[in-house]
Structure 1
Amino acid sequence: MAVIETEALTKRYGDLEALVDLTVQVSTGVTGLVGANGAGKSTLLKILLGLLQPTSGSAAVLGHDIRRDGSSIRAVVGYMPEHDCLPPDVRAIDFIVHMGRVSGLPPAAARERAADVLRHVGLAEERYRLMGAYSTGMKQRAKLAQALVHDPRLVLLDEPTNGLDPEAREDMIALVARIGRDFGIPVLVTSHLLGELERVSDHVIVLDGGRLLRSQRTTELTQDTGVLLVEVLGSALEQRRVGEALAAAGLPCRPRQQLIEIDLRSTARGAAPHDVIRDTACDLGVGLVRLQPEHGRIQDVFQPEGRSGG
């Protein structure tokens, strides 16, 4: 079931095209909206919230029309903006309670929900501190908490890992996964770091210059490419000897930096590549470090061959 649907959605700022004829659906689970800075990700989120009007086209969020029902959409959607928006002289607990009240929760329910979401995002012990003293990671967690406090039916997260160190980024990605899988709330999360959403997203939408490059299940984007990567022990000379012997044995291969790349899709039917590689290395007295199937990556969509189908 689609929670977001767009049809030929376009947004122009004068001669600048931020979105161009975007037709896409977002279903339940975690959907990664990826692309470089300026790809149109934040523009799309603001249009879906009714904060920006599109130049043309249409979209619906949870069955609400974006042109007519902006306030209804914002009442049932949680939104975490990209940029810092937290009042520095306010305690986290007070801010989250206030956001719950603004969303329509009664006072007691707002206090209870605020305590719950601050615990879920890892700020239970820091909830009484002024947010101006928070680290970047803590501020991102507080922004996430305010997006969840009113128990939304959909969550839009704009660059939630922005400015975080690697450890904090991993923690934030784990929180995003928990929202979509443990809490059962559909999530649309943006990132310009194309690889970081592969592990958490069920579906990926790839934008480039406001245009749709790909909308596909993550497992399909990252499936086995049919290429086997071989690493041998020793110098470049040993790598070349093994590569030449594998080619003579009928395995199409070529060097790739310190690896040997074998295209299994071009291997003769009936051949057993792993046995051939093992026996060849043994015959040459060369040690094998690893045999690794290559899997696709989201960033591969941006390579020239990825553009041809976009």
Structure 2
Amino acid sequence: MNKEFLIQVHNRVKPYIHKTAVLSSQLINEIAGCNVFFKCENFQKMGAFKMRGAANAILNLSEEDRNKGVVTHSSGNFAQALSLAANKIGIEAYIVMPENAPQVKKNAVKGYKGHIIESESTPIAREQMAEKVKQETGATFIHPSNDDDVIHGQGTATIELLEERPQLDYIFTPVGGGGLIAGTALAAKYFSDKCKVIGGEPKNADDAYRSMKSGKIEFNKTTNTIADGLRTFLGDRNFPIIMNDVERIILVEEEEIIEAMKLIWERMKIIIEPSSAVAFAALLKEKEQFKNKDVGIIISGGNVDVSNLPF
């Protein structure tokens, strides 16, 4: 792994992604007490950063494997990302979705020509169904976050952010399955000589925080958080990167997530999903430590059910 390798990844996915905007707000800077630069992956194709990792994973397959299609299990953004990336590249995507996944997300997957296979909503049921589809179709399984190609693809958002704002002292990302923060940490390591990466995580789903403390992957017994994209757990591919290259993880309460989300909607006039607000909430929670610093925040996505807002 080196800088040249990540540049190749970036060049590979460029034709399939948007180079998203970096936005700032004087008022937000005053509230946060530092200079905040939002990398707006809510403007990405299909509305989230996951398009980057999905495209890279598919493009790295051999032509023979590509022709058999790809399969994943996801209730949300990665389901949409893999479907759209596969559609753009011209292959089939089989998406195992829990039967209780929101209809709006199922409709989006169908719109991107993904084939939906429903399963029970438990992680084990989803994995077993994905394995069954893999056996039946010969499709390659691509994990939403615990996959090297996915991790490297997600890091391209940070490459773009640091190209535009090389002076950054910190980059904050939300932490769910660990693919985004691991990719961010790798990109920051090779494209900056000083930028540190910090994760924001809901206190109600604090497995990554506990994992960093214990040095082994921990799990949540419950995941009762509004940040629905962060209810997944870390994997053996991304966890070592997180342990090695992430500075720390800050936990935030549900009210803090909602307040941060509301602030961005009101002040930035942009739509972000609750999971995206977690990183900004983490910065606000400990803003004294980042006074007058230059801070990047990856706005991970904007796929929110506008008929069911928390404010």
Q: Same fold (TM over 0.5)?
A: no
The bucket for the TM-score relative to the shorter chain is under 0.3
Which structure has more RCO (C-alpha within 8 Å, separation ≥ 6)? 2
Work out which of the two has the higher radius of gyration on C-alpha atoms and give 1 or 2: 1
Whose strand proportion is higher, 1 or 2? 1
Whose helix proportion is higher, 1 or 2? 2
Taking structure 1 as the reference length, the TM-score comes to 0.26
Taking structure 2 as the reference length, the TM-score comes to 0.26
